[in-house]
Amino acid sequence: MTAVTLTERSPGRRGDAFLSVQDLHVSFSTEDGVVKAVNGLSFEVERGTTLGIVGESGSGKSVTNLAILGLHSKEHTEISGEIWYGDTELVGAPGKTLERLRGNRIAMIFQDPLTALSPYHTIGKQISEVYRKHKGASKNESRDRAIEMLQRVGIPNPKVRVDDYPHHFSGGMRQRAMIAMALVCDPDLLIADEPTTALDVTVQAQILDLLKDLQQDFGTSIILITHDLGVVARTAHNVMVMYAGRAVERGTALEVLGTPRHPYAWGLLSSIPRLSSPVDVPLKPVRGTPPSLLNLPSGCPFHPRCDYPQLAGPELCFNDRPELSPETGHGDACYLTLKQKQEIFAKIKENL
């Protein structure tokens, strides 16, 4: 692939981003109406890096990533926009194309390793069937490969454990097995949907370190979906903050977590406890509740929960939706001026 064809096809792409999502919209038709889960989302993932996607429940994080793999039910879901994986456009791609990519080039690990593995099949079978399907390997080859992968993700005694069922494994081990299953075909992109949420804290750290190690060894890109900013700080190169199906802030991990610019990002940061802060200082959650995706607020979808709409201008936040700017680098979708943001954050920072 050459740079020329790249620009012809999709002018928004940059660098060596090999996954590029452009103006993605995902909506579900339900009995209550159309749920607009993702509304015009664009982002890129660069080779060998980790993109952390953070946001509250219902901000469209998981929906976006299920859309990449085409895992939404076709009947109830409306998807528009573009998702480019290399030369392949994934929105509306035929089922066979997606089938060949899933688990092979793009793999996914899920939040709850207790339910995400089939209780009816051995760990080894569940890992090796992916390898057999995509690589055309024989039964023995794929079994050896499964053992190798289990070894790689730190399962002790993999030659024996390969024949165990998921219920013989602890939660952390199951997530390791899940990772082994995802990486068995050496994919370019690993989508990790809250991979540590269901695990206890010590196991969380182990799993995150494992992902980091594997990324270094295999050069896999990772999209890490989480609502835990600590996890992002620990693993992500780039961060995207999502709110109501849109990106409200984007930049490197240092930029977004060190000098956040969007009021929602401030809110997220001030709602996490710090070990160093005194215990009697109450945590400050983001006030209000996430907006209904059936009926999004006018203007900036965050304005009902924002403390600063008056600063930006009398009616601006209520009527017009801010776009993510600047287009590259550290950008945010807010009408406050950069100076205002810096001043406000300097004030908030003292309490963090």
- Note the residues at the interface with another protein (CB under 8 A): 69, 71, 95, 99-104, 107-108, 110, 112, 115-121, 129-130, 133-134, 165, 167, 178, 181
Name, in order, each residue with C-beta under 8 angstroms of 122's C-beta and a sequence gap of 6 or more.
162, 163, 164, 165
> What amino acid is encoded at 291 in this protein?
P
Q: Which is nearer to another protein, 47 or 100 (CB)?
A: 100
The 3-state DSSP composition of the chain as helix, strand, coil percent (nearest 5) reads 40, 20, 40
CB of 293 to another protein, least distance (A): 20
Please identify which residue in the block is written with the tokens 């370019």.
188
| Alpha-carbon dihedral sign for residues 121, 123, 129, 132 | negative
341: its two tokens: 């943001």
CA dist 302 and 197 (Å) reads: 25
Take residue 301 and report the two structure tokens written for it.
Answer: 């979808």
* Residue with smaller CB distance to another protein, 112 or 297: 112
In angstroms, give the least distance from the CB of 256 to another protein.
28
Q: How far is the CB of 130 from another protein (least distance, A)?
A: 5
**Closest separation between CB of residue 21 and another protein, Å?**
18
What is the rounded distance in angstroms from the CA atom of residue 316 to the CA atom of residue 304? 13
Nearer to another protein, 108 or 231 (CB): 108
Which C-beta is closer to another protein: that of 51 or that of 192? 192
Measured from the CB atom, the residue of 124 and 263 that comes closer to another protein is 124
What is the DSSP secondary structure assignment for residue 51, as one 8-state letter? E
Q: Indicate the burial class of 206 (C-beta count within 10 angstroms; 0-12, 13-18, 19 or more).
A: middle
- The tokens for 315 are 């009616």
Give the count of beta carbons closer than 10 Å to the beta carbon of residue 252: 15
Q: Minimal CA–CA distance to 262: which of 202, 334, 324?
A: 334
State the nearest-atom distance from the C-beta of 177 to another protein, in Å: 11
Contact 233, 149 (CB under 8 A): no
Least Å distance between CB 197 and another protein?
A: 13
Question: Tokens in use for 174?
Answer: 């199951």
Nearer to another protein among residue 176 and residue 250 (C-beta): 176
- What SS3 state is found at 3? helix
Shortest Cβ distance from residue 74 to another protein (Å)?
12
Q: Which is closer to another protein, CB of 112 or CB of 144?
A: 112
If 0-12 CB within 10 Å is exposed, 13-18 middle and 19+ buried, where does residue 284 land?
A: middle
Residue 154 beta carbon to another protein: minimum distance, rounded to whole angstroms: 21
- In the complex, least distance from residue 104 CB atom to another protein, rounded to whole angstroms: 6
Whichever of 35 and 101 has its CB closer to another protein, that residue is: 101
In angstroms, the first-to-last Cα distance of the chain is 46
Return the number of the residue (66 or 316) whose C-beta is nearest another protein. 66
